[in-house]
A and B are shown apart, each in its own frame.
Chain A
Amino acid sequence: MKDLFAGLITGIIFGFLLQKSKVIRYNQQIGALRFLDMTIIKFMLSSIIVGMIGIYLLKDLNVISLNIKSANIGANIIGGLLFGLGWGILGYCPGTQLGAVGEGRLDAVWGILGAILGAGLFAELNPFLKKIILTWGDFGKITIPDILNVNHWIIIPIFIFLCLMLFIFFEKKRI
């Protein structure tokens, strides 16, 4: 019960931030994919930078443990491409489209219904998919520092530097 309440509060704050920064809007989502408006990239990368520093600090202090999703190369690539295809058509992300409904964008209701149907179908197809795509190139729960065999505090500053370069580029181009 405490967990459900924590989830709700976290979601409310997250939804608040998404709405305030316009990240959930169709114009901004498709705007990023058409290189017209990089608002969603700015939001995502900023939260990733801050989150990355905090998560790895807490991990090094043994306060939390990581929860890495397996690198199933075949499934990550094929699923990722299929997601992108649908995303470009829908113009909302699965999770944030509920936020779009929250600010009155009712076309996201269609996206939610499509997603529920798709999720139901995926559950039926899963035994079959498991035999094919889901087992291609399974490298397990690996991270970038693992494969490069370096400490994460070497990778993190490099990642942040690259993001900052990208931010400077966006601001120069006013996108």
Chain B
Amino acid sequence: MNLLKKSEWNPYFAGALAGILAILSVWITGEFIGASSSFVRTAAMIEKMFIPNHVSKVEYFNKNQPKIDWQWMFVLGIMIGSFISAIISGTFKLQTVPDMWQDKFGKSVAKRAVFAFSGGFLAIIGARLAGGCPSGHGLSGLMQLAVSGFIALICFFTAGIISANLLYKGGINK
């Protein structure tokens, strides 16, 4: 039980456990880990409340129907699991601006909100275009030695390194 309360686990150890979890998931339910298409389903569910006729006409929503599936529950579970872990280890912390961001860009909640919103917007369009995110392409793709996974993961990191370093250009001056 002490291990569960520890605030920090070795990333190699936790990663290896996540690998076992991924194997068991494929073995038991046939499901590979992924996340990004759940956002498409969520968008479809929201649109369905207001413009149901339109949703039924969008081809991409036929492929990713406005309903809750394995992956949607998986993504929801991530939030619950993280909450449980944070509570029992005492690392839950309400924060509207991350530490590193605040050191560089200050305390403005609005500024961080605009950047986070735009980043999320761009990232999901990219992920859906590429056919997956670091979970689907990165973890599940590389586990299966998929060519698409390697190409996507290299591109994720290449562009991520560029945008993060442009944002933090000149380092943090404090």
Contact = CB atoms under 8 A, between A and B. Distances in A.
Contacts, number: 522
Interface string A97-124: 1111111111110111111111111111
Contacts of B13: 21, 46
Interface of A: 3-27, 30-31, 33-34, 39-40, 42-52, 54-55, 58, 63-64, 66-73, 75-108, 110-124, 126-127, 129, 133-134, 139, 141-147, 152, 155-156, 159, 167
B83 A103 contact: yes
Interface in B102-128: 109, 112-128
Contact of B149 (A64, A69, A78, A126): A69
B59 to A, nearest CB: 6
Contact of A104 (B38, B95, B153): B95
A159 to B, nearest CB: 8
B80 A15 contact: yes
Secondary structure of the B contact surface, majority rule: helix
Contact of B27 (A4, A64, A156): A64
A58 B120 contact: no
Given A11-B81, A46-B12, A82-B129, 17 more contacts: A4-B68, A10-B31, A12-B81, A19-B89, A20-B6, A47-B22, A76-B137, A81-B155, A88-B160, A91-B101, A92-B116, A93-B123, A94-B127, A98-B82, A120-B44, A126-B58, A143-B146
Interface of B: 6, 8-23, 25-36, 38-40, 42-44, 46-47, 58-61, 64, 68-86, 89, 91-101, 109, 112-168
A116 to B, nearest CB: 5
B125 A120 contact: no
A169 to B, nearest CB: 14
Contacts of B21: 10, 13-14, 17
B19 A48 contact: yes
A147 B138 CA distance: 19
Given A15-B85, A119-B39, A30 B164 contact: yes
Contacts of B148: 68-72, 76, 142
A15 B83 CA distance: 8
Contacts of B112: 107, 110
B123 A86 contact: yes
Given A18-B78, A90-B115, A47 B18 contact: yes
Contacts of B20: 50-51, 54
6 contacts: A20-B14, A79-B125, A82-B129, A88-B167, A107-B98, A134-B129
B24 to A, nearest CB: 8
Most buried by B among A14, A52, A144: A14
A89 B74 contact: no
Contacts of A51: 19-20, 22-23, 139-140, 143
Given A8-B73, A84-B126, A127-B59, A30 B100 contact: yes
Residue in A17, A22, A78, A142 with the greatest tally of chain B CB atoms within 10 Å: A17
